[in-house]
Amino acid sequence: MMNSDRDHELIDRCRQGDRVALGQLVKEYERPIYNAAFRVLGNSDDAADVVQVVFLKVFERLDQYNSKFKFFSWIYRIAINEAINHRNRTRNQQELEEEQFVASENPEKWVDSGQVSDVIQVGLMELQEDYRVVVVLRHFSDLSYQDISEVLHIPEKTVKSRLYSARQLMKAHLADKGVM
Amino acid sequence: MLNERIAELIQADVDGALDPSDRNELQTALEHSEEARAFRIEMQKLAGILESLPDLEPPVGLSRRILDSIELPAPRQMPLWLKNWLRPVSYGFAVAAGMLMAVGMVKLMPLADSDMSSLVGSMVKQGAGITDGLPDSALGQLGVDLDSVQGSILLKDLDGALALQFDLDSSEPVEVAVDLGHSGLEFGGIAQDTSGLAMFKVSGGNLRVMNEGTQKYVVFLKHSVSTNASDKKLGVKISQDKLTVFEGSIAFGG
Flag whether A37 is in a domain: yes
The average pLDDT across A99-112 equals: 46
Counted domains in chain A = 2
Of the partner residues B46, B56, B58, the one whose CB lies closest to the CB of residue A171 = B46
Could you tell me if A156 and A118 lie in one domain?
A: yes
Could you tell me if A110 and A180 lie in one domain?
A: yes
Select from A90, A114, A142 the last residue of a domain: A90
Q: Which domains does chain B have, with CATH numbers?
A: 4-51 (no CATH), 74-251 (2.60.40.690)
What ipTM goes with this model?
0.85
CB contact burial A62-87 (16+ within 10 A = b; e otherwise): beebeeeebbbbbbbbbbbbbbbebb
Flag whether A95 is in a domain: no
Q: State how far Cα B110 lies from the chain centre.
A: 31
What predicted TM-score, i.e. pTM, was given to this entire model? 0.57
Flag whether A98 is in a domain: no
pLDDT at B193: 61
Could you tell me if A25 and A85 lie in one domain?
A: yes
Comparing C-alpha atoms, which of B182, B199, B149 is closest to residue B249? Answer: B182
Chain A contact residues (CB < 8 Å to B): 14-20, 22-24, 26-27, 30-31, 34-35, 38, 44, 48, 51-52, 55-56, 59, 116-117, 120, 135, 138-140, 144-145, 160, 163-164, 167, 170-171, 174, 179-180
In whole angstroms, give the CA distance from residue A138 to residue A143. Answer: 5
Q: What is the pLDDT along chain B (254 residues), one digit of tens a residue?
A: 788 999 999 999 999 999 999 999 999 999 999 999 999 999 999 999 999 888 999 999 999 999 999 988 766 554 444 444 444 433 333 343 333 333 322 333 333 333 333 333 333 334 456 676 677 788 888 988 888 888 899 998 877 778 888 888 888 888 899 988 878 888 877 777 655 566 777 776 788 888 778 878 888 887 775 555 567 888 999 998 888 889 998 888 75
Residue A168's φ and ψ, nearest 5 degrees, are -60, -40
Q: State how far Cα B12 lies from the chain centre.
A: 43
Flag whether A96 is in a domain: no
pLDDT tens digits for range B106-159 = 333 333 333 333 333 333 334 456 676 677 788 888 988 888 888 899 998 877
Could you tell me if A67 and A116 lie in one domain?
A: no
> Which residues on neighbouring strands pair with residue B214, listed in sequence order?
B169
Other beta carbons less than 10 A from residue B172's beta carbon: 17
Sign of CA dihedral B25, B27, B28, B29: positive
Q: Which residues of B touch A43 (CB under 8 A)?
A: none
Chain B contact residues (CB < 8 Å to A): 7-8, 11-12, 15, 17, 42-43, 45-47, 49-53, 55-59, 62-63, 65-67, 69-78, 173, 175, 198-199, 210, 212
Query: A151: domain range?
Result: 105-180
